[in-house]
Structure 1
Amino acid sequence: MTETLALNGRFARHYAEMVAAMVAGMVLFGPVWSLSLGWWGDLARPDISALVMATNMTVGMSIWMRVRGHGWAPIAEMGAAMYVPFLVLLVPHWLGVVSGDAVMIGGHVLMLPAMLAVMLLRRAEYTAHHRSKPLPGLLKHRWPTLLALLMTIESWVEPLYPPAVALMVLPTAYLAIGAYRKRLREPGVLGVQLAGLGAYLVLVVVALAVPDEVAKYLIGAGWLLHGVWDYVHHRYDKVVPRAFSEWCGVLDVVVGLTIILLV
């Protein structure tokens, strides 16, 4: 009984991991298409969009499956589970029977049972322990930077311009994470974090009071300065996990630069 529960739990965890990897691929690789092929009008066609979406999810899931030690045959089968639901619905779409929205929604809905069916065909594959493959050096050590760059790639085409009050999220996040990790109890740490919170509060008030043309530079500077804040915390391993400060620092710098240069 205990062994059966363990196997079922392992199976469910594999399924959840692949769904998460699929969603991550969809979110992270979507901007790459917009940046590289945004000029191509047909990219917005429902059939093209559906295949692009399936590709993004397949890439994300395939990467994770390789990391988890799966072979190419299971990866190919799972990739088919991404494409087949869309391909099945595209035929009636091309015949004018099914709308583009129905293709997109239906493909995503059918994909989940398709993935489950593939896993059930190889149940032993997804209930066994898999030795994760070592990640390439750059991906292993600099994945927060790569993730942040991938998340912000579209900002160079359509700059993100958060309102001034959004700056308060930056110091507040450090306080919240520091409190959770009990790092604020260290000597002087709470005072520094509260000083940072106060400085950003002043910056937000000023940005709200000045003309928009000036506020843009203040907001951009606020994001850039928080990138420096992130670097210092990463350098000395303070308050937040180093992976978070690295990711946050790169994201902050990209957002700040695109606000100042492109907005």
Structure 2
Amino acid sequence: MDTDTTSRPLLGRVLARWPAALAVAVSLPGFLSPPPEADGLATSLGGALLMLPLGYLVVAKLRRRWVTWPVVVAAMAVVVVTRALDVVSPAVVLAAIALAVLAWSVVDGQLRRDRTLRVQALGLAGFAVLTVAGLTFLAVSPDLGVVLVAAGWFLHGIWDLVYLRRDEVVARSFAEWCAVIDVLLAVQLVLLL
């Protein structure tokens, strides 16, 4: 019996879903390691939440789906460096970058002309509200803050699924990866409560 032929279809399916498989692999240690404090993880994830809609905004601004992964890697680098320097919250730096991209889009008129860019700007604004609310409530009512940050990640996962299904704005591989990892991170946060 040739076992190789029975494993190929499964392997082919896994390879076709590599972004989802990667997201699960990256998320798995968070489920298996000793749980951190919910508000500490929520503070960390809340600070990085704007990275997600900022990526969509930049890719929509550039109108080049192929730049999705480089933009995301650059945004992740901003979060890592900002945390390492510990001078200002990553959320503040990401918001400043978003404002610069929006100002550029107003000046060159693209925000007025481009519906896709406007939708991404509105999405960014909504996720910014969740970010600010989540980070603010972490100091006053930690459980509510954790729920708000988790909601932001979960809702961005839904956002990703919409764009994966529509095959628009960002690379499909990113939308798939991001949808899975966003939902898994939201679940991790909720399980810590």
TM-score (norm 1): 0.45
Between the aligned partners of 1:167 and 1:214, the Cα distance in structure 2 is 16
Instruction: Give the percent of matched residue pairs that are identical in Structure 1 and Structure 2.
Output: 38
Which segments of 5 or more consecutive residues in structure 1 lack a partner in the other structure? 1-133
Structure 2 match to 1:172 = 54
**Cα distance change, pair 152–163 in 1 and its aligned pair in 2 (3 A):** closer
Deviations, residues 94-119 of structure 1 (Å, cap 9, x unaligned):
xxxxxxxxxxxxxxxxxxxxxxxxxx
**Residue 180 (structure 1) shift:** 3.6
TM-score (norm 2): 0.60
Q: Which has the larger radius of gyration?
A: 1
**Residue 208 (structure 1) shift:** 2.5
Give the counterpart of 1:137 among 9, 12, 16. 12
**Residue 163 (structure 1) shift:** 4.0
Asked whether the equivalents of residues 135 and 149 of structure 2 are also in contact (C-alpha less than 8 Å), the reply is no
Give the alignment of 1:190-229 within 5 angstroms: 190-210=117-137, 211-229=141-159
Which amino acid is the alignment partner of residue 165 of structure 1?
G
Structure 1 match to 2:6 = none
Are 1:262 and 2:192 an aligned pair?
yes
Which amino acid is the alignment partner of residue 157 of structure 1?
L
Between the aligned partners of 1:164 and 1:143, the Cα distance in structure 2 is 26
Between the aligned partners of 1:187 and 1:240, the Cα distance in structure 2 is 15
Which amino acid is the alignment partner of residue 25 of structure 2?
L
Between the aligned partners of 1:208 and 1:202, the Cα distance in structure 2 is 10
Segment of structure 1 superposing worse, 185-194 or 157-166: 157-166
**Residue 175 (structure 1) shift:** 1.4
Between the aligned partners of 2:129 and 2:160, the Cα distance in structure 1 is 19
Between the aligned partners of 1:165 and 1:153, the Cα distance in structure 2 is 21
Between the aligned partners of 2:31 and 2:11, the Cα distance in structure 1 is 27
Are 1:241 and 2:171 an aligned pair?
yes
Give the counterpart of 2:28 among 141, 153, 158. 153
Give the alignment of 1:15-30 within 5 angstroms: none
Between the aligned partners of 2:14 and 2:164, the Cα distance in structure 1 is 18
Which amino acid is the alignment partner of residue 144 of structure 1?
P
